[in-house]
Amino acid sequence: MSSIAINSSIDLALPEWLKKCLKESSAASSSEMDDRRHSDMVLIGRAFEFAYQLHQGQYRKSGELYISHPVAVAGLLRDLGGSPAMIAAGFLHDVVEDTDITIEEIEERFGHEVRQLVEGVTKLSKINFKSKTESQAENFRRMFLAMAQDIRVIVVKLADRLHNMRTLQYMSESSRRRSAQETRDIFAPLANRLGIWRIKWELEDLAFKYLEPEAYREIQQLVSEKRTAREEKLAKATEILRDRLQQAGIHCQDISGRPKHLYSIYQKMQRQQKEFHEIYDLAALRIIVQTNEECYRALAVVHDAFRPIPGRFKDYIGLPKPNRYQSLHTGVIGLTGRPLEVQIRTIEMHHIAEYGIAAHWKYKETGTSTSSHLTATDEKFTWLRQLLEWQSDLKDAQEYLDSVKDNLFEDDVYVFTPKGDVVPLSPGSTSIDFAYRIHTEVGNHCAGARVNGRMVPLSTRLQNGDIVDIITQKNSHPSLDWLNFVRTSAAKYRIKQWYKRSRREENVIRGRELLEKELGKTGFDNLLKSEAMQTVAEKCNYHSVEDLVAGLGYGEVTLNLVLNRWREVAKGQQPVTIAPPFLPKEGSSLKALRDAPPSTCRSTDSPIIGVEGLVYHLAGCCTPIPGEPIIGVVTRGRGISIHRQGCHNLENVEFERLVPVRWNPAAENSGCHHTYPVEIQIEALDRVGVLKDILSRLSDQSINVRHAQVKTATGQPALMDLGIDIRDRSQLEQVFIQIKKMSDILNIRRVGQIDE
């Protein structure tokens, strides 16, 4: 079958290594195939053949055969030194999602190890990164759980993402920006944490290319223009250092210049507020020697040949980064009087710097496929273990995301215990963060701290190299004031946990009050005892309803989240015997709603015709206003929800739940003066006073502004999100006309889930 696959893919340029695997696979008879099931080349060849067959007839946006993508992914994994199982997973990573093949068939044909990798990547492929905090947090939880089972899953996913980014030009503009943003926010930082610099740099540059194309092209052109002069200077510096190292008896494996990638140059320009011509160290010299001792001897040679720049020396050999990166970094004044960065490392350190965790199996292991199986228990993945530790504890989505950012997206500072143990912490951490990192009880009983032998306030920010000694007392306990200055989510969580446990009864009472206020008193106790509410508690990651109510009272879980979970459960449950309006029986929804308290205005003056005497509310997803066609939806918990016709949330609503309604034109003359909330977004040139001018125009039209938020970025237009109160569509149109007249306004639109 291999020959068929090769002949059928003449337009697919198969790499030589794959052709060799295919020949090996076709040379084996069927009986030999069983005997050589675990043979590396046979496994890889069979995986390609299987993927090729399944993807036949499928094409990419570029017009290429779809199989070209799995081949590229497998090639990237091979370059990273991946095991045969990983390379096979690279070929097969899309077959479960894109074809009728099941994960069980993958295991039957290729074994359990390949099945686990393909299954893990398939789960990650189904993650849709959304802006909503709760959804995004859940996506992160699933990702890190998959990584915890086998870290190689995320390496396969990174290879998949890298090839997709290389071919992103064939996607639509919106798809390009969305993928680029995901790559910059999630996958590049993950590659950084795993130490796979080769992938990290390319992912960052590709994301930069599509997110900020003008800046990308400008820096690319400027770097290209100065390349010749820069290479000449680096060549001279290289020659000098090579001679000096030889004279010192240091065997130099390699010395070469490394240009900095475009995104790192852009970041430096933004961080230091400098123009391109003010950035001198656009490239670094890399010296590779044989031993750790030679690294330090080479450093002395460099400092003897060129004047060192104070404060620019970093020893990542004695104090490696969390991703295992090791190297000596120093800044010196080069031949032209401008700064030059020099990196010194051994061959092994260089392999780890380039391949990160992949170096574990590429350069350390002896060849068995299972030897590269790494999980969260490995010491090198402290950050991943910390994330998993909070998986079940952190109920609040925003708090969990903060924990992710602490552990994944920021570089650490390194402090020491009195015994000399290194403790990595997030930048800006305090002695309280340090105490809770050591142990929960150390944090709970912290009474003071010495930093470098001196007593300091607990709010003091720790710096690299500080030696921290925590003073504990039995009677000491956390203070709520600590929440004002602790940095890490772990410390914040433990402080809150202590208060939650010590005041549980108060929290239960407060939680009951919040829930009772929303759902009503009648039948409330029966509701709390129902199986449906127990299901709600479990969906919110609590063991019991009482735990859920206590969490609600403490603020660990939000009321909106509980109510949302309640509505989800109520949809598929028989209704609990409680009073309307919060869960009417099937088939009697309108009767239950009519039994509920009516609106405060007289029914003849109700703003909406068709809901007289019923409990109703305007949907927040589309915020309808008079003058727009509307439709009512009977809900299980909040009466009738009024939507704009065409709202996206109506797509899956059963026809039986729809109620015909319309605006009452006589309502405005009745004495009940109604206004309605509308969210608008304005894109304007970023100048001083632009928001003030917009608010002035709104004030002139007697428009109340409920909130305003401005987002700015260097060189980008300002984005302003405003919440305003509007009488009707006509007034909203007048608002748009008046604001559009301003010369600084680039765009204005209404925010809401509807096709305008």
* Tokens describing residue 48: 């390609």
Pair 67, 162 in one domain: yes
Q: Using the CB atoms, write b or e for 538-573: b if 16+ within 10 Å.
A: ebbebeebebbbbbbbbebbbeebbbbbbbebbeee
Q: Report pLDDT for 241.
A: 92
Q: To which residue do tokens 């951490």 refer?
A: 429
Q: Report pLDDT for 140.
A: 60
Considering the domain boundaries, does residue 377 fall inside one?
Answer: no
Cβ contact 751:719 at 8 Å: no
Pair 261, 334 in one domain: yes
Considering the domain boundaries, does residue 133 fall inside one?
Answer: yes
Pair 465, 609 in one domain: no
Question: Pick from 613, 636, 669: which residue ends a domain?
Answer: 669
Pair 173, 30 in one domain: yes
Pair 663, 683 in one domain: no
Maximum pairwise Cα distance, the chain: 100
DSSP 598: P
Contacts 24+ apart (CB under 8 A), 544-547: 546/508
C-alpha 190 chain-centroid distance: 9
Q: Using the CB atoms, write b or e for 82-99: b if 16+ within 10 Å.
A: bbbbbbbbbbbbbbbeee
Considering the domain boundaries, does residue 60 fall inside one?
Answer: yes
Q: Report pLDDT for 359.
A: 62
Averaged pLDDT of the chain: 78
Handedness of CA 278, 189, 396, 556 (dihedral sign): negative
Pair 611, 708 in one domain: no
- Active site positions, annotated: 97-98
Q: How far apart are CA 536 and CA 634, in angstroms?
A: 22
Question: Edge to edge, what strands does the sheet with 616-618 contain?
Answer: 616-618, 640-644, 630-634, 658-659
Q: Report pLDDT for 377.
A: 45
Q: Report pLDDT for 34.
A: 47
In 374-493, which ranges are E strands? Answer: 413-416, 422-425, 446-451, 454-456, 468-472
Pair 497, 507 in one domain: no
**Where in the sequence is the domain holding 638, given as residue range(s)?**
589-669
Considering the domain boundaries, does residue 169 fall inside one?
Answer: yes
Pair 688, 604 in one domain: no
CATH of the domain at 127: 1.10.3210.10
Q: How far apart are CA 493 and CA 551, in angstroms?
A: 13
Q: What is the pTM of this model?
A: 0.56
CATH of the domain at 259: 3.30.460.10
CATH of the domain at 472: 3.10.20.30
Considering the domain boundaries, does residue 362 fall inside one?
Answer: no
Q: Report pLDDT for 653.
A: 79
Q: Where are the alpha helices (DSSP H) in 357-486?
A: 358-359, 382-389, 397-408, 431-438, 440-444
Considering the domain boundaries, does residue 721 fall inside one?
Answer: yes
Considering the domain boundaries, does residue 214 fall inside one?
Answer: no
Pair 101, 129 in one domain: yes
DSSP 577: S
Q: Report pLDDT for 668.
A: 58
CB atoms within 10 A of CB 487: 20
Q: Report pLDDT for 376.
A: 43
Pair 39, 108 in one domain: yes
Pair 625, 604 in one domain: yes
CB atoms within 10 A of CB 110: 23
What separation in angstroms does the CA of 506 have from each of 11, 32, 509, 552? Answer: 71, 71, 5, 11
Cβ contact 572:566 at 8 Å: no
User: Count of alpha carbons within 13 Å of 295, Cβ hemisphere only?
Assistant: 24
Q: Report pLDDT for 381.
A: 58
Pair 337, 451 in one domain: no
Q: Count how many domains the chain has.
A: 6
Mean pLDDT per 10-residue segment, the chain (756 residues): 45 75 66 51 87 88 87 90 88 87 89 86 59 54 68 87 91 87 83 83 92 90 76 85 91 83 85 75 84 93 91 86 83 82 91 72 42 48 57 55 55 79 82 91 92 91 88 87 83 81 80 81 79 86 86 76 78 42 36 40 64 78 87 78 85 78 73 78 85 85 86 83 89 87 85 62
Q: Measuring CA to CA, which residue among 748, 749, 729 is closest to residue 630?
A: 729
Considering the domain boundaries, does residue 203 fall inside one?
Answer: no
Q: Measuring CA to CA, which residue among 152, 148, 171 is closest to residue 160?
A: 152
CATH of the domain at 687: 3.30.70.260
Question: Pick from 518, 544, 571: which residue ends a domain?
Answer: 571
Question: Pick from 647, 669, 691: which residue ends a domain?
Answer: 669
